[in-house]
Structure 1
Amino acid sequence: MILMNSDNKMQQKLRHDARALLEQDKVDRIIGFEPGSLQFTTTPLITRDKGDLDRLVINPFIVNNLAVFLPDLKGRIAIVSKGCDSRSIVSLIQDNKISRDDLVIIGIPCPGMIELRKVEKLTGKDRDELDDVARQGDTAIIGVDGKASEFPISEVLFDNCLGCEFPTPQDYDILLGEPAAPFAQGSASQARIEELKAMSPQQRWEFWRKEFRRCIRCYACRNVCPSCFCHRCFVEESEPQWLMPVPRWQENLMFQVMRNIHVAGRCTDCGECERSCPVNIPLRSLTREMYDLVDELFHFKAGMDKDAPPLMTHYEQEEAEDLIR
């Protein structure tokens, strides 16, 4: 994998700054990304060992929202943060799950992350058959069988990245690189959602019933979500028992409906729920619709102001009331 010059410079600065933070005892741990066990992947790195810092990377595959780890870690933490990650961090601060004073946020202006499934579809090759996947500006360069092909970057980015409004972290202590402009592909980001909206209610019902028949209720979507921070999830309650543990489609659908209500006003459209799903259920079609409804009804976007109260904890007189039936 070939790094863009900007990525390489940011990567070197990240390693330098992370080392300085540990050596000066300004933080107890660093949370970042290191190469994954498979090519074109990364995995979270949580360390207090300066010897691990040369494994820190910045590339088009740092997809994880690292904010999910913060509530369970003690001490002062330095965390690598993309735009959507930073909003999740701010949301956790609003909910008093973490303290801003315990954080050093290392911001990364994010130009969008590459989705390997889209690359595989474009090339007709499995990711193990790819020689290289790289980005140069607005172009994705994909090497297959010793030959390089170029594609518009918009064809390989995650859908949520195509519609990202805030690619630069909203809150940071250190910013690596220059602020990034919002991506101008909102319609492409919403294409699958618009297809669902164009369906009749019965067609949508059949669509989701078919999708949730495939759900194995592994809870990966819940576990990877920074907004799902309850110590005991409602699905684990037995008095009352909200859902049966058997993964029937009815219970699976109800789980997602209730989860989306719980994270309303906290979801930052990071796309982690859909990315983590082992059976590829298009969960973002639900979460993004809720994200847009919250914005439409309450003029509220998650994670924009750490000093603002969480959405569902207060009432504004100017809020629209036409939703009340």
Structure 2
Amino acid sequence: MSRRLTHEDAVDGIWGGSVLACGGGGWVSHGEVMAEAATNAGTPVLASVDELPDEALVVTVTAIGAPGAAGWEIQPRDYVNALQLVMDRCQAPVVAVLTAQNGASTTINGWIQSATLGVKVLDAAGDVRAHPTGKLGGMGLTDRPGYTTVQAVAGGNRKAHGELRLVAEGTIVTTSNVLRDVSVRVGGFIAAARNPVEAAWVKKHGAIGAISYALNLGRAMRAADGSGARAVIDAACNVTEGTIIAEGPARITRPMRTHGGFDHGAFTVDGLELRYLNEYMTADRGDARVATYPDVITTMSMKTGRPATISEIKEGDELAVFHVHRRHLPLSSSTRDRIALAEVEEIMGVELIKPAEA
């Protein structure tokens, strides 16, 4: 059943999304800006996928770039403009939007578009957790025979590059790669809308219930906030069936570098190596893989109990590594997309397909 989304819901979404951000997934401060903008602009509406007829048109809304980029700028209206560009090119009305992923700001994706353009926010996502590439949030569309996408971006660092609006049509792989390059040229991050598809495809291939999952997680963590960091972490574990797989000071082994629209690097916590490409993708202890995408892998601050993002972690920070195995998560088809996973394997030089299929 549809329901109105409130500012309290948005705060829950930011808290829960921050865990599912897996070290990246946007920024809390940007999530707060988008929460204020969306709930002040109107009333976002959350709908279950079952409320939509199979033929209804749905668009994915997101942002593209590297969370560690220093020169990015996205204004709330950029998200609206990107969606409008896609809507203008669709052969039928766009009824709903869904976020490509959960995250500190990305769980709020689609709310301002709902408030201003009247589309519904689907209780679903391209991926229940954050990921580094558009293909991983594509709900398996890279494998859909004959599918041609429309992707649009809007925004950019106005002072340095001016405002940009751009539409790309073609295969998901090519258009995604082109628009990631564009994100680099406009400051590192840009608002996007993409992949118009019928609701029937989302029902079969999306991460169903992903927004409610994030809101429930955030609500439980906020309720425990007054009881200290350990209570917040325990609340996250209880809601998700998650566990803590390492605790201790961060030891940075590969300092972050931003290249090609991605943040790359690694560090260890109590001998557990966390490697990331924008988000944590693997956790290894020696030669043993402890956790692997699409598992949720997140670092939590032992001071606050809240997630510690990759770009903020400093040498010696006391962290807990939080893990939710994929069997406990609502997964989308794109988490098993061998084309998307192979691309990340090549960039990172790690194995993802075999561990994820094990």
Point out the structure with max Rg over C-alpha. 1
TM-score, length-scaled by structure 1: 0.31
When you count strand as a share of all residues, which structure comes out higher? 2
Structure showing greater relative contact order (alpha-carbon pairs closer than 8 Å, 6 or more residues apart): 2
